[in-house]
Amino acid sequence: MHKQLLEKYKCVPGKRFAYNSASGIITYVPKDLGKVRGNMALLHEIAHAKLGHKTYKYDLELLKMEEDAWNEVKNDSKKYTLLIDEEHIEECLSTYREWISKRSSCPKCKFFGEQMNNQVFYCKSCETEWKVNNRKDKRVMRKIIKHNS
Ligand SMILES: [Zn+2]
Ligand SMILES: [Zn+2]
């Protein structure tokens, strides 16, 4: 089954599962295929490719893409009779939600901020502006760049 999938999409072996929206190439970890998590990761990257996901500007767009991709994984897992772990999907999505809510909460007053561009947020309540780091795998850092004292 994997063979078909790997041939149907532009898949190349690599060190991690990923989808490059610029080239349309999916990288996969050969030794993880056949394992539940590996199957899921492959289907997930294929879903991004199928749905034509591109780069995003706002966190909520990213979350929407992740939700859509995982829904596609659920459908495809039935189609290709691949085993998946739905709890893992929920874990992945809640990690994203937590990451997003940390980035968007105002460092001064905890109010929910508005995202101005991919790294800058603004709080309507206390007029603080902050910048966040852009690494999803790192702890969220918020740096105040403007505030009313
Ligand atoms: Zn994804
Ligand atoms: Zn605030």
Number of Cβ within a 10 Å radius of residue 119: 14
pLDDT tens-digit series, residues 66-113: 999 999 999 999 999 999 999 999 999 999 999 999 999 999 999 999
Residue 76: its pLDDT value, please?
95
Residues of the chain with pLDDT > 70: what percent? 99
Q: What is the mean pLDDT of residues 11-15?
A: 96
Burial zone of 88 (CB within 10 Å; 0-12 exposed, 13-18 middle, 19+ buried)? middle
Contact 123, 113 (CB under 8 A): yes
Structure tokens, 142: 């918020």
Q: Could you tell me the distance, in angstroms and rounded to a whole number, from the CA of residue 64 to the centre of ligand 2?
A: 26
Residue 147 CA: which ligand is closest? Answer: 2
Model pTM greater than 0.85?
Answer: yes
Q: Could you tell me the distance, in angstroms and rounded to a whole number, from the CA of residue 66 to the centre of ligand 1?
A: 5
